[in-house]
Amino acid sequence: MSFEKELWDTANRLRGTVESSEYKHAVLSLIFLKFASDKFEERRQELIDEGHEQYTDRVEFYAKNNVFFLSEESRWSYIKQQAKQEDIALKIDTALTTIEKENKELKDALPQNYFSRLGLDTNSLASLVDVVNNINTIADKEEDVVGRVYEYFLGQFAASEGKRGGEFYTPKCVVNLIVEMIEPYKGKIYDPCCGSGGMFVWGNAAIAWQSFGAFIVFVVFFIYRARQHLWQFVSSSLENTQPDQNRLMSPRSAVITFGASIVFMLIWLTQSGLQFKISVIFIPLLMLIYLGISRVICQSGIFYVVPPMIAQNPCIHLFSPRRIGAQGMSSLGLTYAWHGDVQSVVSGLSAEGVKLQSAIGCTGRQLTGLILFALGVGLLVAPWGVILSGYWQGAINWNTWLFHGFGPNTYGQVLTQLESSMGQEQILQRLVYFGIGGLLTVGLTIMYYQFLWWPIHPIGLAIISSFTLYTVYLGFFITWACKHTILRWGGLRLYARGIPFFIGLLIGHYLGRAVALTIYTIYGLQFA
């Protein structure tokens, strides 16, 4: 049996803990560690054979031969010796981090705290180390061992997951043919096979910061237009007037609650380790994002919105992780729990609930009571439901992002940001992108509100990088096409008559999902 097959069989035993698409990352990291160590030991022995044993600890004697220098805790012999220890995952992460720090050309190239976040049991990881230990990574000077494993794992992933599983896999024979035909040894290669381009939207800092600039300008413009109403609202909170029963909350109660919330967040942030000067910037940014989400939900009809950027990122870029410090970064990391997921933003959902006020025939105060009751029930039931589900089904089987990736990813991001250094030039670039997005939104806003014929709404640029828009744009198009067709050919009368039909579609969809979820839960099936 080839070592690639043996690696796959060993990694496949991790199924249930690690997704099959993740096998290659775990295995390739270990193979790289073994390869770097084999090259180091080979070069070290050369120095000894040449009578230069006194230079075996000098980095430059390895670097000149394109060999990475490895300290004791980064060598494969040490990893193999410690493979049975409970903290072997931490030792592997430490080895990779140490190699990266000692060799500047590897900066940001190796995974950070990857094995610690995987949560593998010691025996599984030790068996993987044993298999990798049997591979001689430098026996064949012409053979790319790492490339062989990578290609093999992609092929196996394609075979095990079906046609969608291998969408990024190109057989080696095809690769060799293409290389021989085009000889890509100089110049630039343009690859049009980028799918929908969604990864560019998600991964490109320029797009994210432009969208964030557009989002902030969109919110600020909304506040400016509502300035008189907001002033009247604050002024009425100071007056002892009869409360309006149609409001969700009286102006005085709203202002007091808002102020108390701000004070609570400020105390929480400072007590958890974040500097006061950063807290007073973080909270206004957070409020702007909350207002923006609520505005987008009310104006566009999108049931939830993921902002282009959370409030953490601007603070980190303005002050840098090193100035914020480990305590401050940990504090910002903990805020993911109450602002990193859009489903925790109550303001937008409450605004949607106001639309139901007239339909269900209740006052604003009664609706507020219903909202608070729902929140209270959720806060009581949700934790118990999660805990009980974990005991009944096994928490290890929760493969959703919220349970499987949210916590480890947050922790990993904090560590990565602490170890990274962003220069002034990079910060300036992001501010330039932010300004471009803001200026474009100013122009779009002027055109939209000044000219009736202008078709483009400024809200589009503000949420262009949102995950929500990326997933529901087809539904938006279909809805627009249906509405446009009905209004054009049937007028307002047909539009009004068709509303119950479309509401019925929504009710039927959610009722069907609820029934399916109930059945799947009773019988312990996986609900997609």
Q: Is the pLDDT of residue 260 over 90?
A: yes
- In 3D space, the residue among 248, 474, 496 whose CA is nearest the CA of residue 357 turns out to be 248
Q: Taking all residues of the chain, what is their mean pLDDT, rounded to a whole number?
A: 76
**Count of all residues that appear for the chain in the document:** 528
Token duo for residue 23? 């096998």
CA dist list (Å): 36 to 97, 113, 350, 523: 13, 19, 56, 50
pLDDT of 268 reads: 92
**Are residues 258 and 311 in contact, defined by beta-carbon separation less than 8 angstroms?**
no
428-482: per-residue pLDDT in tens? 778 888 899 899 999 998 998 888 888 788 888 888 777 667 667 777 788 888 8
Q: Is the pLDDT of residue 157 over 70?
A: no
80-137: per-residue pLDDT in tens? 888 888 788 888 888 888 888 877 777 767 777 777 777 677 777 787 788 778 777 7
Question: In 226-310, where does DSSP find H-type helix?
Answer: 227-237, 251-271, 276-300
- In 3D space, the residue among 445, 480, 475, 481 whose CA is nearest the CA of residue 460 turns out to be 445
**Are residues 17 and 122 in contact, defined by beta-carbon separation less than 8 angstroms?**
no
Distance, in Å, from the CA atom of 66 to the CA atom of 40, rounded to the nearest integer, reads 10
More confident residue, 508 or 474: 508
**Are residues 75 and 84 in contact, defined by beta-carbon separation less than 8 angstroms?**
no
Lowest mean pLDDT segment, chosen from 256-270, 280-294, 301-315: 301-315
Lowest mean pLDDT segment, chosen from 289-293, 301-305, 397-401: 397-401
Collapsing DSSP to helix, strand or coil, 189 comes out as coil
Would the pTM count as exceeding 0.75? no
Q: Where are the domains of the chain?
A: 3-193, 205-465, 468-528
Token duo for residue 48? 């000894």
- The CATH architecture that domain 3-193 belongs to is Up-down Bundle (1.20)
pLDDT of 171 reads: 55
Q: How many Å separate Cα 256 from the centre of its chain? A: 34
**Are residues 313 and 417 in contact, defined by beta-carbon separation less than 8 angstroms?**
no
396-439: per-residue pLDDT in tens? 666 665 665 566 666 666 666 665 555 566 677 788 888 998 99
